[in-house]
A and B are shown apart, each in its own frame.
Chain A
Amino acid sequence: MDEEILTEEALILNDIRSHLTTFEKERGNLIPILQMIQEKHAYIPREAIKLVAEYLEIPVCEVYGVATFYNQFRFHPPGKYPIKVCLGTACHVRSGDIILENFERKLEIKEGETTPDREFSIERVACVGCCALAPVAIVGETVHGHMAPSKVEGLLLRIRIEKEKQEREKLTISGNN
């Protein structure tokens, strides 16, 4: 898995390198470049910040400063199961922040980050439009209404079991062949 991630990152960086040359070496192109990276790869890898700085010949910390200034840029790849915890007014009132905290604790990552195995990532969102179900969390494509802190662990466990089951099936199929 680790190796897979590494080769994937190397591919991403190579891709970024090849696309950088389409931009003029101008300071003003910093944000368009960052947007290009984000659009193509859904996040801005650590190494890419250095690449951009070298290409534009500006300090690395300046690139980092600009990138962190805007909410549109992410620094972690999205997980396979992105978890979005709603903290809109209704969810906030029904203690959405405790749900968020529980996810953070169980997955051992902070909001905005991704687990090292890239399975889960956590994000906070403002409102998903089903306030009647508050508090709400969205895992992958599924909306989970009436969330409770105690439901977090079960939810994650279910996904993991599901995944293991799929893998086992895959093995038996390939074994039969």
Chain B
Amino acid sequence: MVTRDNQRKVYNRRKVLQAGAALAGVSALGFPAVVSGQSNKIKIGHLTPLTGFLGALGAYAQLGIRMAEEEINRSGGVLGRQIEIISEDSVNPATGATKAQRMFEQDGVALLMGEINSAVALTIMQVAERNKRLFLQIGARSDALRGKNCNKYTFHVDIPNTVMVYAVGKALVRDNMVRGKKFFTLTADYIFGHDLLNAAKRFFAANNGNLIGDELIATDVTDFSPYLLKIRQARPDVVCSNLAGNQVTTLIKQYSEFGLPYPIVGFNLNTADAWAAGEGNLAGTWPTPWYHTLDVPASKTFVDNFTKKNGKPPENHAWIEYISLKMMAQAMNDAKTTDNNKLIEHLEKQSEFDVLKARKAYFRSWDHQLMQEAYPFTVKPKGQAKDRWDLIALGGAVPGASESLEVLAPTREQNPCSMSS
């Protein structure tokens, strides 16, 4: 009797393993989500990470920019034309740059916006400069982007690392958590983390904190336990996170799991990553550019509308994409053009924009960085949260109401940005 099993083909194990390894490797790459349409609209190219360790933030970014797009189009568009956002996954630095070039060349976009990943933002900035076209860099925080790598064609919305460090640093100094204390840092191993570590080192040096250990952690690491054991061996006074994206979530969860006794603080956090860590796991003092409980009327309206539409409150990347498109629409309306050079000139005039905060914001003319308020926050004690989004207690805005918005930003002497036009 012959059964199916007997007819089994003879095949080569090596071939199967090779193909398997190749496919398993490919699965680490992303796949594009292409959305496009037709003309007579003002097309705006939008790139943001939708996969990988920043993918969750990118999903919020898309919700934010889509909401602004709808609102703008409903109220008549820009310069009498509707706008159309062409949004794609930026994947990695090489793919992001390729897509940016294609959007300029083939899709005919008026300008580019977006990004969260500092490494990808850097390559898109280069594409923008080569093409002499405008790139509104929204969500990447690396100092280098608006410092030594700055260029005339790129404007930066999110708060840079140095300012995030100072925003938290002020609160830490106030709480006597810096002078003479031993710090152990965990740092994301790419341009953003390196950059943030440098800012942290300057802060420690200026305030007599001692950095006794640092670990660079690759962005795809999902198990932090060996690093936690090393932290314990070093016995620091304070553990400090310079991590990015869902690395922060992993750290928070596993730190809480091991129950290490050292207080933890951080110089970078996006609230989606804190929400993902769950109640009772997050602790310490962190910075944020915005939070949905911010007590500003315009911000509350935005939060209500967003929550009604999406069934969950906006995260800071949804907020920043929303205000970024609104700012760009306002700039086009005021400058009465989509011509990139004229828009750049207009933005460099430091006109003010409503960013749903107590104070208006403006792009500083010489480094193209948006000057805006930041907030340190602490975690609400257990039981005080109204819902699972209501994790944190916002501190007062920095700079304070009486100070210049530029007091925390690097000065001309400190910031190696020089733009050749």
State whether these chains interact: no
